[in-house]
Amino acid sequence: MSFLAPALLFGLALASAPIIIHLLNRRRFLRVDWAPMKYLKLTLKSNRRRLRLEQWLLLAIRTLAVAMLFLAVARPVGSGANLAGFLQVQGRASRVIVIDDSLSMSYQTNGRSAFEQAQQAASSIVRAVGAQDSLTVVTSSRPAQALVRHAQLEDADLTRLEATINELDGSDQASTWASTFDAVNRHLETSVFPLKEVIVITDLWANGWTPDLTELCDRWAEEDVTLRIVDVGQEPEANRRVLSFVQSDPVALVDTEVRFTAEIQNDGAEPLTAGQATLIVDDEVQALTLPDLPTGETVEVPIALTFDEPGLHRVSLSIPHDALPNDDDSHLVVDVRRMVEVSLVDGEPGLGPFESELDFLAVALTAGNAPWQMHSVLASEWANQPIGAPDVIVLGNVETLSAERVQQLESLVAAGAGLMIFSGEQVDVEEYNRLLYRGGEGLLPLRITEVRDADTSGLVIEPHADSPLSPLLKLSAESLARVRPKRFASTSVEEEAHADVRVLARWNNPANSPAVIEKRFGDGRVLFWTMTADRDWSDWPTEASFVLAMRMAADSVAARLLRWENVTTGQPLRYALDPEFAPQTANLSVPPTGDEVPLVIERAENSDPMLVSDATRRAGHYFALWDEVGVGGQMHPFAARPDVTDSRLERIEGGELEQFLGRLTPQVIRFSGESMDVTTAGTELWRYAVLVLVSLVVVESLLAPWVGRTR
């Protein structure tokens, strides 16, 4: 037996108090013989044994009550403290050992991480497991890929397994215990021995423990599966982490300042003074000064970079490392272009300047030194031309589209291109609703009901944080009040809208009619303007705010060439190959070592070949490597950022853990890291000591009056 509060055992000395009081109360009497005494002596002699028994019994009860009081507060633990004894079962068992290798396990105490503790604990447990038992060892990030599976290991095998465990490295993924336990259950279903046991070695941080576990744990309880949790974690004290690192500007252009935003959070108890961070751009190191980080606050750090070459560039942000270093870095791949290609499809051409439908829009996009490559085409000609692959397509007062062209537009937008649609007198409302709206499944955000005369007093911008029109909020109310349409296209009520639809701007009329509506369609975006792009329905094209709105809108919907290049650890990497030059094999260089692992090449019917990796484990930059026939070696970069949801400073206590495990009661032990000795936390005996104490108090209260009665 051991005690969780052994210092309180000094109180056992007070158990001698009843004995001392009894001895002090013994009095010496002066003996005086008188005649009736002999009859009294005869009476006392007959009752002496019974009286002594009653008094000694009362004394023993009082002494034991005091001893039980201090035993209870010292919290005795009934199970054995030896690891081999802890793992002992009656019969042959199938054991699955799960080593938590999530991001939080990199938290360091006294220069030693929880993952290193877990490796030592796993080695100790593997040595303590009998050779007659079946053993499976997995990590939480890859539970389906066992280090050993259903193995009965001799000494030589144990030595190799220990070496494998010691060579493991942690991941930057978040804990997902529901999926991990599902994979463990599949191992148990194929096990041989009837006794089944799961041993989880973890830091018991709160992230990842969810109610999704309850159903499986209830089933394990019915099947008498034993769950043991080895706690190797420490109470976290402080942490500083990069919550996000994103490209703020939708499009990055050569020789143009590109803005990024980093969110850095201080979860520590003390504020952090300004520190020096590091930016690495294509292996070039730059210094970045961080602002002060108040306690419990998140600070947004603006970053501006300029690229002098087009192509894919690698950017990494690293803040000073702390006790949890794996959430202090974040990584990106940035697509830098020379220009943005825009196709202007004009549905109402004119003879003179600014008489065509999209002339004002073309001037707005090309004013100054803007790197926009414009390609204007009449709607009648565009209908018979190849659609190409522009970054933005603008339809201005186009009467109607063929079903084939609509299908081509949907494929292009779903792949990431942007589409802007302007209304007008020539628009065939019924055809737009039939082909482009398609009951909410098409490109058009809302159903068009009618074209009506306007009675408005300006434009109202909705305050969406990531809206392309949000810069208009900085303009004066007077400048937006001058935007007064003569007519506009009325749309259906918003309750009919798809979940990916939102209104970016409204007309300032009693109905708050939508003026600009956005829809996310696949990887692309669609903006529908309920007015024309020329002066037929409003004088807005002559206002300076029109130039700002059009440039920001086109910039926001421009095609994103990167689709799967920036991921969070735990997600796979994907890259579409040219079917004419697709290789037979490909490799992936993984951080931080640069070791190469094979990539899978998926060749699905009716789609391009695709490079696909396993789920990423470590944060950093990856490189897909392959040889194209007749072209030579090819390389494509990717970036994986750490899953910082796992670095929330919160441990889960035993009572909180049980709510997720249903009827399955885990046995939680604490691994010290210095030896094989552990202390159980799930078999405390203090409740029994309190029960005995209460019983003794009740018996003493009944026995004391009986012993002290008048005889």
Give the CATH number for residue 604. 2.60.40.10
Instruction: Please give the radius of gyration of the chain, using alpha carbons only, rounded to the nearest integer.
Output: 38
Strands (DSSP E) contained in 307-463 are 311-318, 329-337, 340-346, 372-378, 392-396, 418-422, 448-453, 459-461
Residues 197-210: tens digit of each pLDDT: 999 999 999 999 99
Domain-embedded: residue 235: no
SS3 432: helix
For residue 202, list its beta bridge partners.
Answer: 231
Tokens, residue 436: 């482009």
CA atoms within 13 A on the CB side of 661: 20
429 plus 518 within the same structural domain: yes
672 plus 541 within the same structural domain: no
535 touches 542 (CB < 8 A): yes
Which pLDDT score, from 0 to 100, does residue 194 have?
A: 84
Which pLDDT score, from 0 to 100, does residue 269 have?
A: 66
Q: Calculate the average pLDDT of the chain.
A: 85
636 touches 624 (CB < 8 A): yes
User: What mean pLDDT comes out for the span 404-408?
Assistant: 93
Domain-embedded: residue 12: no
Residues 209-237: tens digit of each pLDDT: 999 999 999 999 999 999 999 999 888 88
Which pLDDT score, from 0 to 100, does residue 80 have?
A: 44
Token pair 């300076």: residue:
544
- Percent of the chain surpassing pLDDT 90: 48
122 plus 154 within the same structural domain: yes
103 plus 215 within the same structural domain: yes
Which of 41-45, 76-80, 408-412, 604-608 is predicted with the least confidence, judged by mean pLDDT? 76-80
Name the strand (E) or helix (H) holding 275. Answer: none
315 plus 421 within the same structural domain: no
Cβ neighbours of residue 388 under 8 Å, at least 6 residues apart? 343
For residue 137, list its beta bridge partners.
Answer: 97, 148
218 touches 232 (CB < 8 A): no
> For the stretch 507-540, what's the b/e string if a residue is b when 16 or more beta carbons lie within 10 angstroms of its beta carbon?
bbbeeebbbbbbbebeebbbbbbbbbbbebbbeb
503 touches 489 (CB < 8 A): no
- CB atoms inside a 10 Å sphere around CB 556: 21
Cα angle vertex 330, ends 590, 562, to 5°? 70
537 plus 659 within the same structural domain: no
SS3 627: strand
Residues 166-206: tens digit of each pLDDT: 999 999 999 999 999 999 999 999 988 888 999 999 999 99
SS3 492: coil
Residue in 421, 416, 412 with CA at minimum distance from that of residue 388: 412
603 plus 654 within the same structural domain: no
Q: Is the pLDDT of residue 679 over 50?
A: no
Cβ neighbours of residue 680 under 8 Å, at least 6 residues apart? 77, 79, 81, 86, 667, 668, 669
Q: What is the distance between the alpha carbons of residues 491 and 483, in angstroms, rounded to a whole number?
A: 19
Domain-embedded: residue 479: yes
> For the stretch 114-127, what's the b/e string if a residue is b when 16 or more beta carbons lie within 10 angstroms of its beta carbon?
bbbbbbbbbbbbbb
Q: Is the pLDDT of residue 447 over 80?
A: yes
Give me the CATH number covering residue 217: 3.40.50.410
Domain-embedded: residue 51: no
For residue 507, list its beta bridge partners.
Answer: 459
Q: Looking at the 3D structure of the chain, how many domains does it have? A: 4
Sheet holding 392-396, edge to edge: 372-378, 340-346, 392-396, 418-422, 524-529, 514-521, 501-507, 459-461
Among 308, 337, 366, the domain-final residue is: 337
Pick 682 or 710 by higher pLDDT: 710
Domain-embedded: residue 614: yes
Domain-embedded: residue 399: yes
Q: Is the pLDDT of residue 604 over 60?
A: yes
458 plus 332 within the same structural domain: no
Which pLDDT score, from 0 to 100, does residue 664 have?
A: 92
Q: What is the distance between the alpha carbons of residues 418 and 558, in angstroms, rounded to a whole number?
A: 5
Domain of residue 365, residue span: 340-557
482 plus 590 within the same structural domain: no
Which pLDDT score, from 0 to 100, does residue 85 have?
A: 52
Q: CA-CA distances (angstroms) from residue 250 to 133, 434, 522? A: 58, 32, 17
Q: What is the distance between the alpha carbons of residues 442 and 464, in angstroms, rounded to a whole number?
A: 23
Among 536, 557, 578, the domain-final residue is: 557
Residue 602 is which amino acid?
Answer: E
Tokens, residue 276: 């020096």
Which pLDDT score, from 0 to 100, does residue 111 have?
A: 85
Which of 56-65, 325-334, 414-423, 640-649 is predicted with the least confidence, judged by mean pLDDT? 56-65
CA distance between the termini of the chain: 46
User: What mean pLDDT comes out for the span 604-615?
Assistant: 86
Which pLDDT score, from 0 to 100, does residue 36 have?
A: 60
442 plus 376 within the same structural domain: yes
Which pLDDT score, from 0 to 100, does residue 133 have?
A: 83
391 plus 494 within the same structural domain: yes
φ/ψ of residue 403, rounded to 5: -60, -35
Q: What is the DSSP letter of 682?
A: S
Q: Is the pLDDT of residue 676 over 50?
A: no
Question: If phi over 0 gives left and psi between -120 and 50 gives alpha, with beta otherwise, what is residue 681?
Answer: alpha
Among 539, 557, 575, the domain-final residue is: 557
167 plus 304 within the same structural domain: no
Which pLDDT score, from 0 to 100, does residue 26 have?
A: 56
Q: What share of the chain is helix, strand, coil (3-state, %, to 5)?
A: 30, 30, 40
User: What mean pLDDT comes out for the span 645-662?
Assistant: 87
Domain-embedded: residue 5: no
Pick 26 or 285 by higher pLDDT: 285
Q: Is the pLDDT of residue 114 over 50?
A: yes
Give me the CATH number covering residue 457: 3.40.50.880
Pick 132 or 459 by higher pLDDT: 459
Residue in 329, 331, 242, 332 with CA at minimum distance from that of residue 293: 242
Pick 9 or 628 by higher pLDDT: 628
Domain-embedded: residue 47: no
pTM: 0.73
